[in-house]
Amino acid sequence: MKKIAIVGTGYVGLVTGVALSDIGHDVTCVDIDETKVAKMNQGKSPIYEPGLSELMTKNIEKGNLHFTTDHSIAFQNAAAIYIAVGTPERADGSANLDFVQQVARDIAANVSNQGAVVVTKSTVPVGTNKLVKHWITEALDRDITIEVVSNPEFLREGSAVYDTYNGDRIVIGAESEEAAELIEAINKPFGVPVFRTDIESAEMIKYASNAFLAAKISFINEIGTICGKLGANIEDVAAGMGMDKRIGDKFLNAGIGYGGSCFPKDTKALIQIAGGVNHKFDLLESVINVNNKQQQLPLDIAHMVVRGGLEGKKVAMLGLAFKPNTDDMRESASIVLAHKLADLGANITAFDPIAMDNAKRLLPESVHYVASTEEALQDADVAFIVTEWDEFKDLPLTVFEQKMKQPIVIDGRNCYPLSYVETANIDYYSIGRPSVIRAGKSNQPAN
């Protein structure tokens, strides 16, 4: 068992700290928000992540997991100090390292263990880990040696707990063999393969991985647009592509684009990193442009299929979070859609199983929030499916028929098999697939 400190209790920090305590380490998580810390000490998670609250309670009761606002308490005799604070996007797309630098100062002021290893979990530009070491060393006023290790995270919101125990790899970038050995030993109980490399390569692996996945999403969305114009079915195309082991079937689901805290921020940051070494990353710029265009697609369809325009029409928005099983609204397609609908004079009624409180801070004030899917659909002229929650995927299509004034459904996530839609009395428009009209006949899709 190692004594470990985690600075930052967002998705990455909290999940990492809880999981490390669950495999037997003594973990103290630090956050400057006293109210948040008090709640976490009671086992109440500040974020929605399936399975996290249960693990918190379990390990608090076992005495393995603690929360504090006091860095000196957390760092006392810690073998490893994890940096897991945010690196928000600046106006130019680069990563803001102010929070990381502040943690470096806090470590310098409070670290007590000779030879402590500082582990950077935050997503940071190439070169940051060495900068962190410089910041700490420069601020130290006593004879303490520290090492810095890059240990990027690869967690998906909504399945972060599962991913921690079932990851594809744990990446460790280090200059010191001893520091790398320590971090590998800390993570050994997870049973996940470890890949060790230099610090700069570890930092780049994180950005390159997210950029590649974002590129797959934008690629399949472009193919979906072409399929829509040719009468092909993007789901069949993606399935056929995915059978090729060189391509794989992951991240080939056509829809209205990616969002969240990672892909939008990391793709822009990588463009800035490339620009810093005088390289214009044309491919990644196109990936971002395609994604921005894709978020407009449901509205383009609505303009073509809703008679008389959207002004004064009741619009149901099903799903607000950027993906299911999270309450995260960052870069969600629902933000773009809601603001454009409000500008057009539509009356928006919205429902999300988890994210509505967060949505209220980002969506137009005119949006009306309700407590159920059925209430959102009541007397609606058109319904947009924005997030593929199971609650919507399992919804009988008869609910659209019974509740809506006009059963026009624009499905931005391709939630329903077309064979099932053809049995219903609705007009159904999805992404890259033939549309289905009320008579049950297929025609060329609006997209």
Give CA separation, 6 vs 49, 63, 119, 130, in Å. 18, 16, 9, 19
d(CA 165, CA 344) in angstroms, rounded, equals 46
Strands, sheet with 147-150, edge to edge from the N-terminal-most edge strand: 65-68, 26-30, 3-7, 80-83, 117-120, 147-150, 170-174, 194-197
Which three-class secondary structure state does DSSP give residue 316?
A: strand
Residue identified by tokens 């070169």 is: 127
Residues 6+ positions from 35 with CB-CB distance below 8 Å: none
Q: 75-102 burial, b for 16+ CB within 10 Å, e for fewer?
A: beebbbbbbbbbbebeeebbbebebbbe
AA identity, residue 196: R
Q: Which of 29, 227, 262, 415 is catalytic?
A: 262
Phi then psi dihedrals of residue 197, to 5 deg: -155, -170
DSSP annotation of 372: S
How many Å separate Cα 154 from the centre of its chain?
Answer: 10
DSSP code string of 382-400:
EEEE-S--HHHHTS-THHH
Q: What is the DSSP pairing of strand 435-436 with strand 442-443?
A: antiparallel
What is the distance in angstroms between the CA of the first residue and the CA of the last residue of the chain? Answer: 56
Q: Is 144 exposed, middle or buried (0-12, 13-18, 19+ CB in 10 A)?
A: middle
Is residue 276 within 8 A of residue 421, CB to CB? The reply is: no
Give CA separation, 40 vs 60, 89, 366, in Å. 9, 27, 34
Phi then psi dihedrals of residue 391, to 5 deg: -60, -35
The runs of H, that is alpha helices, within 260-378 are: 263-276, 282-294, 297-305, 333-343, 356-359, 373-377
d(CA 322, CA 425) in angstroms, rounded, equals 29
Which three-class secondary structure state does DSSP give residue 91?
A: coil
Q: Is 262 annotated in the active site?
A: yes
For the CA atoms of 356, 362, 368, 373, the dihedral, rounded to the nearest 10 degrees, stands at: -40
The runs of H, that is alpha helices, within 63-115 are: 71-75, 98-110
Q: Catalytic residue numbers? A: 262
